[in-house]
Structure 1
Amino acid sequence: MAEGVATAHLSRPSTSIIGLNAANFFLAEVVGVVLPFLNALLRERGWRYDTIGVATSTVGLGVFLFQTPAGMIVDRVRARRLLLALASIVLGFCFGLIPIAATFRAVIFPLLFVAGLSQAFFQPLLGALALALAEHDGMSRMMGQNQAWNHAGNIAAALGAMVLATTFGIESIFLAILAASLLAATSTQLIQQKRMVADASAEARPASRGFVLRDRRAVLLLVSTALFHLANAPVMPMVALDIKRLHGTDAQVAAVVLIAQTVMVPVAYLAGRLGDRFGRKPVTLVGFAALPVRIFLYSLTDKPAVLLALQSLDGIGAGLYGVLVPSMCADITEGKGRFNTLLGMVATAQALGGVLGPLGSGLVLQHLGFKAAFDTYALVALLGAVLFFWKMPETRCPR
């Protein structure tokens, strides 16, 4: 598809695009606010910081173990709408049962693991559906549109969580997550299956899976994203815990998500256009560079209002990253038919950070305190930014 045709197609949203945007919106509500409030709930139930870190890491472990297999499965299956709906419903029920299971540790850890397993399918499935609808030339703008709706869903989730937490208590948030998962599953039915089958069948002769690890760009992207998420994954829950330690309110905990996501909406919407105009690497590098600055600044304050203000930097970094990394995967795999495999491997690298980051943060918080934890993860983020700047080449080919 020519770039002009792709752009025109996106400017007149079809029912399928509306369905995909709605799925992104409601899935963001499912996963967007859960970790800060999971941590807050477990702390209220008397859990130690290090044990809370293990619980958070259990979600990441499920994602990590199943992320690459999920990408490979998505490359092969045709019923992608159904698979996305099932994954959403399973995740919703796992989180919906958390308030009941929080006092039964033998139950809560399996629930969190299955939640992570289900979440592993979201990124490759949403990416596959986006690529099938927009094709390669329209991928960046489609991802920008999808991610803008994703962040809008996070805003709605954060606002809803603030109201629910102050009115009914933290437990009510987990029931709202269950409801959002059912709405996400329903939204997938707006996506036209006929178009998905036609696009999937076009990849009749995909390259071998081994090409991913032989491509230097893919390997560098995997390592860079692992470092990014090793630093980034524990930070939002740590900020939420720090606000609670400083006697902040549940509404302020919800604002940790709300502020970042509000900034992410315009950033994500513009990210695809900026990546097409200036190249993927320089725009993505801004996101990588914002992370160590943000984390280090957290260590310099003990005021909840300042901690919340710094969350705007999260909106810049994550907003750019969420759009352009899938676009870089599409660049690297163009014509090879392994987009979902690489996207799954990138998500596995992210999930590795999602496991190790919270696990390490729980230990550091318990024994060394918040300043040491923020400084440690700022150094990890700086390492990822330097690697991306120094070694990662541009992936977008001139058209």
Structure 2
Amino acid sequence: MDTLQHRDSHNRALDWLNFFLADVRDGLGPYLAIYLLAVHQWQPASIGLVMTLAGVAALLAQTPAGALIDKTPAKRAVVVIAALLVTGSCLLLPLLSSFGLVALTQTLSALAGSVFAPAIAAISLGLTGPKAFTRRVGRNETFNHAGNACSALLAGGLAYLYGPVVVFYLMALMTVASIFAVSRVPAGAIDHQVARGLAHGPSGDDHPAGLGLLLHNRTLLLFAVCCGLFHLANAAMLPLVSQKLAQVDLRLATPLTSACIVAAQLVMVPMALLVGAKAEDWGRKPFLLAGFLILPLRGALYVLSDNPFWLVGVQLLDGIGAGIFGALFPIIVKDLTEGTGRFNVSLGALSAVFGLGAALSPGIAGLVVQSAGYNAAFLTLAGIAAAAFTLVLLAMPETHPRSHPAPTAMPDPAGN
């Protein structure tokens, strides 16, 4: 009974960590575009360049971040330090206006934020083990999306009353709450061998496989390409919508962007729950196809109207696509690396690949906007998304462990 109570307590602490960290782990996100456009009157290309620079820094840090999480037993401390750095970098923005200093703070924020995904995945795997990991990831994503929705609602309401700068202070509040939540996860409850993908036995060589593992695992490499294309198409869509909303009404831009985020996050909650509950029974690929199919459809629908309510409505589709993808990503990486002891470094390496897509996305979209307009940018992103879906459909296999037949036992010459 005590063991069950402790397990429930650990799971609740992890729930709240995902909830409060949701507002911290991605930094300012689309609010950065609104702030720079509304307060500093930056051009879309300059905004896109800052976001691209931060994204490039994040992708360079992803693989080392995963290796760090594989190596260190101080996973909780890493989360705390990263949360403080992200928030501190964002709190400096109201004091800065030059391109160089803004780019520097957002780069630092991106570097620190690169540890969150592997750290949360590792803590989850170390607490639950591989058999319960799928359901735990679904639960992580559920509370992460609920936290995003809650913080976006607060940001929208408070920004309407006090201006866009209020989102910085809301992030600081969420950081304090996330630090308290991670302190409630006992360090001794995390099996650090299991957390790096070694269920049994000693870890052997402690040097992470990193890129070598990617190059020798063709399915993992293919999945990395699919992830990169997905985020190349997806990352710029919401910032573009935010900029369109800001052009219509600067005062309503932040509240309406919050409405877009809330709409998507509320849809992501049941999607994450569904993946966590059914990905073991139905397999991974049906969910993956559904998530990738939504993205080109969403990009095409944005061009049909500039009406704010239409844009918010289309953003609901992001809840389906991103909700499924976010829950499946660590599950598929776990499938493909189980037993290697390189789960987190592989997670970091793949995060770097899709981070490259996410980093390039705003810059490419910003250039297309300046040369051909917003509709052309949305259609360009939709075309990239369609290519990603085709690749998943035709080349990506099912990764569920049961889809791989067990090796046939050799006959025993003695007849035993």
Give the alignment's TM-score, normalised by structure 2: 0.90
The SS at the match of 1:398 is helix
Worse-matched range after superposition: 206-215 or 80-89: 206-215
Counterparts of 1:149-188 in structure 2, within 5 Å, are: 149-188=143-182
Question: What's the CA shift for 1:13?
Answer: 5.2
- Say if 1:246 and 1:303, in contact at 8 Å, map to a contact too: no
1:32 Cα deviation from its structure 2 partner: 5.6
Q: 8 Å contact 2:25–2:83 — kept in the other structure?
A: no
How has the CA–CA distance of structure 1 residues 290 and 188 changed in structure 2, closer, same or farther, with 3 Å as cutoff? same
Aligned mate of 2:283, from 266, 279, 295: 279
CA distance in 2, matches of 1:31, 1:255: 19
Answer yes or no: is the 8 Å Cα contact 2:36–2:42 preserved in 1: yes
Higher Cα Rg, which structure: 2
Relative distance call for 1:57 and 1:113 in structure 2 (3 A) is same
Structure 1 portions without partners, runs of 5+: 1-7
Deviation at 1:31, TM superposition (A): 4.3
Residue correspondence of structure 1 range 13-162 to structure 2 within 5 A? 14-31=8-25, 34-44=28-38, 45-101=40-96, 103-162=97-156
Please give the alpha-carbon distance, in whole angstroms, between the structure 1 residues aligned to 2:62 and 2:390: 26
Letter in 1 for 2:24: V
Superposition pairs of residues 1-399 of structure 1, within 5 angstroms: 14-31=8-25, 34-44=28-38, 45-101=40-96, 103-197=97-191, 199=193, 200=195, 204-205=203-204, 208-209=209-210, 210-247=212-249, 249=252, 250-398=254-402
Letter in 2 for 1:256: C
Distance 1:118 1:289 in 2: 32
Contact 1:85 1:186 in 2 (8 A): no
Q: Distance in 1 between matches of 2:25 and 2:183?
A: 20
TM-score when normalising by structure 1 = 0.93
RMSD between superposed Cα atoms in Å: 1.9
State the 1:394 CA deviation. 0.7
CA contact (8 A) 2:87 2:172 kept: yes
Deviation sequence 1:29-54 (CA, Å, 0-9, x none): 12468222211110111101100101
- Using the alignment, how far apart are the partners of 1:274 and 1:360 within structure 2? 37
Q: 1:161 to 1:32 in 2, by over 3 A?
A: farther
CA 301–80 in structure 1, closer or farther in 2 if over 3 Å, else same: same
C-alpha distance after superposition, 1:239-274 (max 9, x if no partner)? 111122233713212111110001111111111222
Q: Counterparts of 2:77 and 2:168 in 1: how far apart (Å)?
A: 24
Partner Cα distance (2:123, 2:215) in 1: 24
Structure 1 residue 104 displacement after superposition: 2.7
Q: What amino acid does structure 2 have at the position aligned with 1:53?
A: G
Q: Relative to 1, partners in 2 of residues 1:33 and 1:78: Cα closer, same or farther, differing over 3 Å?
A: closer
Alignment check: 8 A CA contact 2:128 2:136 kept: yes
Q: 1:198, 1:150 → 2: CA distance?
A: 23
Distance 2:305 2:351 in 1: 32
1:5 alignment partner in structure 2: none
Segments of structure 2 that go 5 or more residues without pairing to the other structure are 404-416
Cα deviations across residues 360-399 of structure 1 (Å, max 9, x unaligned)?
A: 1111112211000000000001111111111111111129
Deviations 1:98-145 (A, max 9, x none): 1222x1323211100000001100110011011111111111100000
Deviation (angstroms), 1:27: 1.5
Structure 2: which amino acid aligns with 1:108? V
Share of identical aligned residues, percent? 33
The code of the aligned residue for 1:224 comes to C
